[in-house]
Amino acid sequence: MNLNVAIRKTFKTGRSGSAGRPGPAEYSGPAEGSGSAEYSGPAKYSGPAKYSGSAEYSGPAKYSGPQPAPAPAAFSLDVSFKLDSSNSVLGILGPSGSGKTMTLSCVAGLETPSEGIIELNGRTLFNSYKKINLHPRERDIGYLFQNYALFPHMTVEGNIRAANKRADVAALLERVELSGLGGRYPSQLSGGQKQRAALARCLAREPQLLLFDEPFSALDEELREALQDEMKRLLDGYGGCAVFVTHSKREAVKLCGKIISIKEGKAMPVELTHFDSGGGARMVDVGGKAPTHRRAVASGVITMSAEAFGKIKDGTAAKGDVLGVARIAGIMALKKTAEIIPLCHSLPIDRADIAFDLQGEQPAVANCVCQASPADTESENRGYACGGELRMPAPSRLRAVCTVESFGRTGVEIEALCGVNIALLTVYDMCKAIDKSMVITDVRLLEKSGGKSGGYVYEG
């Protein structure tokens, strides 16, 4: 699979509203008289004299209200990018009006570039030099519009069959998790269901390329997160190329293997630094790196009182199953870290687990035979004086071990370390009413494998 786009589109008078569409007509003042024509409204004009054509307009001063805005400056879209099997999903970032949607429209055939070439899997869709410009229906492209563009008078099944009469509707609905909803109309669907119905319609024609124009912009945060996960699952199993327009860096990182930015019509290469001069996060381009198997194991310890330890071990803590909740919190945190921290591509987590080792309080020296005075041993909490050393009972310890595996372009060490930290912080939060003096310590990377830096094993 491959997509090659190198296009330029110029608007000589700029864009007003939408690309290439003129703005409102300018006010041109009262129409000039035609000489002999009389006023033909409900009643004839009965003023002092009829307008004779030669007399100049002598009414109130000419219109002097707000003048129309000057025509926008000329706008030029100049974009080029390539996709292949190693980077089949492209994310396009950029502010409003930068040319992101226009780029999709040119690729889909809804707009015609001034010049350039568009090729998909070896087939020429557009070539201004050879006078080739395939009709949108001939391009094998599925386009998911920002507003989904479902036909309101058709059911979900009808919308799908409008794209392909021979489509396997049941299979498509199952693929987008809408089984049993084929008979509903768009007005009977939620926002997320409408998006999935529109996606099923896109897939009905078995396109070689999918175009997404900010498909999550109209959804609330919680639904957006859930549908992003569904979209990633679908794209991972799609098998074709996709171009995804978004304002959100987080969405682009999560869903796309390659990212470009368009500013004022120009495609800008993604910077190789993490932060810009204003402290904002930037992407890191790892498109040239081959994905490999990555593995990392990290551990950490939280020390606590015997009472807190006992309640955790027995499952009698007031807030419930401490270790169960801590494990889930740690895994969720490391997955979020995989989406946000790399700032370069969506990092697929193939395996993530957190295990706990309960290490109870170790007693002080049980059979002390030194010549310590009674004052030195009057309380177990004071410990024992042995050979000049004070040996206190070892505190109760809970050890967490986090293992993360991935097949990607960046390591997963930070994910493993984050998982351990959040798991132990969750233990603290759930048990702080019992023991506020708990201490998290010894958080460290135990081992890692994969990537240019090779393997590592902690030998402490």
Which range scores top for mean pLDDT: 42-56, 186-200, 281-295? 186-200
Report, as an integer, the average pLDDT of 26-41. 43
* 132-133/439-449 β-pairing: unpaired
CA 441 vs. chain centroid, Å, equals 34
Contact yes or no for 443/300 (Cβ under 8 A): yes
Statement: residue 335 has pLDDT above 50: yes
In 3D space, the residue among 167, 423, 406, 174 whose CA is nearest the CA of residue 298 turns out to be: 423
* pLDDT tens readout for residues 211-262: 998 888 767 777 777 778 778 888 877 878 899 998 877 778 778 878 888 8
With 60 as the cut, is the pLDDT of residue 313 above it? yes
Sign of dihedral through CA atoms 193, 245, 213, 126?
negative
Please determine, for residue 366, whether its predicted confidence score (pLDDT) is greater than 80. Answer: no
Q: Residue 302 pLDDT more than 80?
A: yes
Neighbours of 368 (CB within 10 A): 15
Q: Which has more confidence, 16 or 295? A: 295
Sheet strands side by side (includes 141-144): 132-133, 123-127, 115-120, 3-11, 75-83, 266-268, 258-263, 89-93, 241-245, 209-213, 141-144
Residue 269 CA, chain-centre distance (Å), reads 19
Question: 188 is written with which tokens?
Answer: 């009977």
Give the CB-side neighbour count of residue 191, counting CA atoms within 13 A: 14
Alpha-carbon distance 306 to 304, whole Å?
7
Buried b vs exposed e over 99-113: b needs ≥16 C-beta within 10 Å? bbbbbbbbbbbebeb
Q: Would you give the DSSP letter of residue 459?
A: -
Pick from 325, 341, 327, 323: nearest CA to 413: 341
Task: Report the alpha-carbon distance of residue 193 to residue 198 in Å, rounded.
Answer: 9
Looking at 353, 429, 435, 442, which residue is catalytic? 429
Burial track 59-73 (b if 16+ CB lie within 10 A, e otherwise): eeeeeeeeeeeeeee
Length of the chain: 460
The token duo for 192 is 């997320």
- Could you give the CA distance from residue 252 to residue 244 in angstroms, rounded to a whole number? 8
Rounded mean pLDDT of 300-319? 92
Highest mean pLDDT out of 19-28, 76-85, 438-447: 438-447
Residue 269: is its pLDDT beyond 60? yes
Residue 369 burial by Cβ neighbours in a 10 Å radius (0-12, 13-18, 19+): exposed
Closest to 194 (Cα-Cα) out of 159, 225, 226, 221? 159
Query: For 308, what's the count of Cα atoms within 13 Å in the CB-facing half-sphere?
Result: 23
* C-alpha 392, offset from chain centre: 52
Q: Quick check: is 213 catalytic?
A: no
CA torsion angle for 105, 111, 113, 114 (degrees, to 10)?
-150
The model's confidence at residue 380, banded by pLDDT at 50, 70 and 90, is very low
Q: What percent of the chain has pLDDT over 70?
A: 71
| pLDDT tens digits along 109-155 | 999 999 999 999 999 999 999 999 999 989 999 888 877 788 999 99
Residue 329 confidence class, pLDDT cut points 50, 70, 90: very high
The Cα angle at residue 47 between residues 41 and 49, in degrees rounded to 5: 110
Mean pLDDT of the chain: 77
What span, in angstroms and rounded, lies between the C-alpha atoms of 17 and 24? 10
Mean of pLDDT values over 278-296? 65
HSE of 131 in the Cβ direction (CA atoms, 13 Å)? 0
Q: Are 120 and 241 in contact (CB under 8 A)?
A: yes
